Amino acid sequence: MIWTKLWIAVAGRLAMISVIASTVAGRGKHEVIPPCLDAFGAPRIGVNLSFNGSDVRTGQLLPINLTVSPPHVSLDMPSSLARCRLTLVMVNPDAPSPTYPYLSLFLHWIVVNIAPAYGPYEDIVRSGEEAVTYTPPAPPTGTHRYFLLVFKQT
Looking at residue 60, its pLDDT comes to 66
Mean pLDDT on 84-99: 79
pLDDT of 52 above 80: yes
More confident position, 52 or 37: 52
In degrees, rounded to 5, the angle at the alpha carbon of residue 108 between the alpha carbons of residues 105 and 111 is: 120
pLDDT of residue 134: 94
> How many residues can be counted in the chain?
154
Q: What is the pLDDT of residue 14?
A: 28
pTM: 0.71
The pLDDT of residue 23 is: 32
* Rounded-to-integer distance, Cα 95 and Cα 151, Å: 22
- Tell me how far apart the alpha carbons of residues 153 and 138 are, in angstroms, rounded to a whole number: 29
CA distance 92 to 105: 6
- Residues 96-100 have a mean pLDDT of 69
Architecture of domain 3-153: Alpha-Beta Complex (3.90)
The pLDDT score that the predictor gives to residue 108 is: 92
The string of pLDDT tens digits covering residues 108-121 is 999 998 887 655 56
The Cα 14–Cα 106 span in angstroms is: 14
Shortest CA distance to 58 belongs to which of 93, 94, 26? 26
Predicted pLDDT of residue 131 = 93
Of 48, 16, 39, 59, residue with least CA distance to 121: 48
Cα four-point dihedral sign 93, 22, 142, 100: positive
